[in-house]
């Protein structure tokens, strides 16, 4: 009974409070509308990337927001119009009823602006998430992303609404970056520091891209907000570019360190599951559920080649050290080598993992790719002989991500598994150096 009264009070007071543009409306518009209505791409001649822009009319010259009159406001009318082809967001489901009701209420209350600068970008207004960090995890959670910084001293892994950082030498936790997307699916350090790129989201609901100062986590900026998860993030070795891609089939490129978006392209017909950047930073490769992999120019997004050799979803991709060859991994357990123009090599097909999917790829050297698979295994391949040279590490569950640590005889591979475990394994002799569960409290 106490609960019922409390929730009743909470909901009635929510109705009584005026709708806040920056806390309630901006997140809806940024997530659902911004991708088609911003400076670089203003569909229908209409932008809503700042509050000032949002009040202006588009090509139709109909008033977009009439304070106090939702029915006379095109922005509201286009959310509820019956004809699917006219309704916003275009080519997507209608907004949830509660979001439409909020927008209606906000306009009815006078379409007030509660930020401090009407020219500020909508994304800068979005509320910082209240940290929902759990002190201890009730059970280990899958590790879906990891990254190692330039000197190999900081390892970051995906957490629940957070990024966890570890000392790879001891396996001890160094710190926790809270207020991150619910699922963290892509992590990449920016060369030269102190920034870490974080991509993720809530499946089917929202996607986010962040730059976080990992030395001072309060210093952070949200670079993009999408309708579905960002699934991967890579930065160029010269620290100039961040590229992300995800479940909206788009690839986005941002200039670093400021984080301004320089291009944004619908590159595939289905989810983009993996990304790689060439050693010279000039090319980006994508792996997609649409069964193709592509290469595009980092500076412009111009597509240089499409590889159609997989007849199954492509899950992972990597550049060879010479930057001229790409390897991509499929759901059927095959990895294939090809050149930047999308042409497959004659001896291209490798079957490192039996019939389990190739989830992550890397290179030991030009002719020695490494694959991580759904069976929990990491394989070192002799690409010329098309043979598996060594089978390393065996996790109890799929390996979602890996990174190489150190060099020479001491070189190790760090692997992250779906069962929550991180293992650091020396490559020459498959010796396990360290093993820990990357969930706080475990
Ligand atoms: C996938 C792209 C896309 C998305 C997402 C999208 N729009 Fe649009 N929008 C368009 C296009 C295209 C037009 C031009 C008219 C048309 O083709 O129907 C348009 C037109 C408009 C117009 C009319 C502009 C004018 O004066 O002619 C408004 C207002 C608008 N959109 C608001 C929104 C809102 C609000 C959202 C989010 C809930 C949204 N749009 C999401 C593509 C999009």
Q: Considering the chain, what is the average pLDDT of its residues?
A: 90
79 Cα: distance to centroid of ligand 1 (angstroms): 9
Query: The domain 146-437: what is its CATH number?
Result: 2.130.10.10
Q: What digits encode the pLDDT tens for the residues 45-71?
A: 999 999 999 999 999 999 999 999 999
Sign of CA dihedral 181, 187, 191, 192: positive
In ligand 1, the atom with minimum distance to the C-alpha of 59 is: 27
Proportion of the chain above pLDDT 90, given as a percent: 74
Residues 6+ apart with CB under 8 A from 155: 146, 147, 148, 149, 165, 166, 167, 168, 403, 414, 422
* Residue 93 binned pLDDT confidence (cut-offs 50, 70, 90): confident
The SS3 assignment for 43 reads helix
What is the domain partition of the chain in residue ranges?
Answer: 20-119, 146-437
Residues 6+ apart with CB under 8 A from 143: 157, 158, 400, 401, 416, 417, 418, 420, 421, 422, 438
74 Cα: distance to centroid of ligand 1 (angstroms): 10
64 Cα: distance to centroid of ligand 1 (angstroms): 11
Cβ density class 352-388: b for 16+ within 10 Å, e for less: bbeebbbbbbbbbeeebbbbbbbbbbbbbbebeeeeb
The answer to whether 182 and 190 have CB atoms below 8 angstroms apart is no
The SS3 assignment for 242 reads strand
- Minimum mean pLDDT range among 58-62, 163-167, 200-204, 353-357: 353-357
Residues 6+ apart with CB under 8 A from 132: 161
Mean per-residue pLDDT, 103-127: 89
Query: What is the C-alpha R_g of the chain?
Result: 23
Q: What digits encode the pLDDT tens for the residues 228-285?
A: 999 999 999 999 999 999 999 999 999 999 999 999 999 999 999 999 999 999 999 9
416 Cα: distance to centroid of ligand 1 (angstroms): 41
CA distances from 277 to 36, 268, 280, 309, 319 (A): 27, 17, 8, 20, 7
The SS3 assignment for 368 reads strand
Question: Which protein residues are within 6 Å of ligand 1, measured from CB?
Answer: 32-33, 35-37, 43-46, 57-60, 62, 64, 74-75, 78, 86, 88-91, 95
């Amino acid at each position: 009974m106490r609960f019922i009264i409390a929730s009743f009070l909470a909901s009635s007071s929510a109705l009584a409070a005026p709708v806040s543009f920056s806390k309630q409306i901006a997140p809806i518009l940024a997530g659902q509308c911004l991708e088609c209505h911003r400076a670089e791409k203003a569909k229908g001649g209409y932008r809503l990337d700042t509050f000032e822009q949002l009040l202006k009319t588009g090509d139709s010259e109909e008033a977009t927001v009439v304070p106090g009159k939702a029915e006379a406001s095109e922005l509201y009318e286009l959310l509820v119009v019956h004809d699917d082809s006219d309704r916003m967001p275009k080519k997507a489901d209608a907004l949830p009823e509660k979001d439409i009701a909020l927008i209606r209420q906000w306009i009815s209350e006078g379409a007030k602006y509660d930020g401090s600068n009407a020219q500020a970008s909508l994304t800068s207004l979005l509320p910082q998430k209240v940290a929902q960090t759990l002190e201890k995890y009730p059970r280990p959670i899958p590790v879906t992303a990891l990254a190692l910084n330039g000197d190999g001293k900081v390892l970051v892994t995906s957490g629940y609404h957070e990024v966890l950082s570890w000392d790879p030498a001891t396996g001890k936790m160094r710190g926790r970056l809270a207020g991150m997307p619910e699922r963290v699916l892509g992590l990449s350090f920016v060369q030269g520091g102190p920034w870490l790129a974080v991509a993720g989201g809530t499946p089917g609901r929202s996607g986010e891209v962040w730059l976080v100062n990992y030395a001072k986590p309060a210093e952070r900026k949200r670079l993009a907000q999408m309708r579905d998860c960002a699934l991967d993030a890579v930065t160029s070795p010269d620290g100039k570019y961040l590229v992300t891609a995800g479940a909206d089939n788009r690839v986005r490129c941002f200039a670093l360190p400021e984080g301004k978006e320089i291009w944004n392209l619908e590159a595939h017909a289905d989810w983009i599951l993996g990304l790689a950047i060439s050693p010279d930073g000039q090319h980006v490769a994508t792996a997609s559920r649409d069964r193709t992999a592509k290469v595009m120019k980092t500076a412009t997004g111009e597509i240089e080649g499409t590889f159609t050799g997989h007849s199954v979803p492509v899950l992972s991709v990597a550049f060879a050290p010479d930057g001229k060859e790409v390897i991509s991994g499929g759901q059927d357990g095959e990895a294939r080598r090809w050149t930047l123009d999308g042409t497959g090599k004659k001896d291209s097909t490798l079957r490192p993992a039996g019939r389990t999917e190739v989830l992550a790829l890397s290179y030991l050297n030009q002719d020695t790719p490494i694959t991580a698979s759904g069976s929990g295994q990491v394989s070192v391949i002799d690409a010329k002989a098309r043979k598996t040279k060594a089978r390393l590490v065996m996790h109890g569950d799929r390996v979602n991500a890996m990174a190489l640590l150190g060099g020479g005889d001491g070189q190790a591979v760090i692997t992250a598994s779906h069962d929550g475990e991180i293992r650091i394994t020396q490559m020459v002799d498959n010796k396990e150096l360290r093993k820990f569960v990357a969930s706080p409290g475990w």
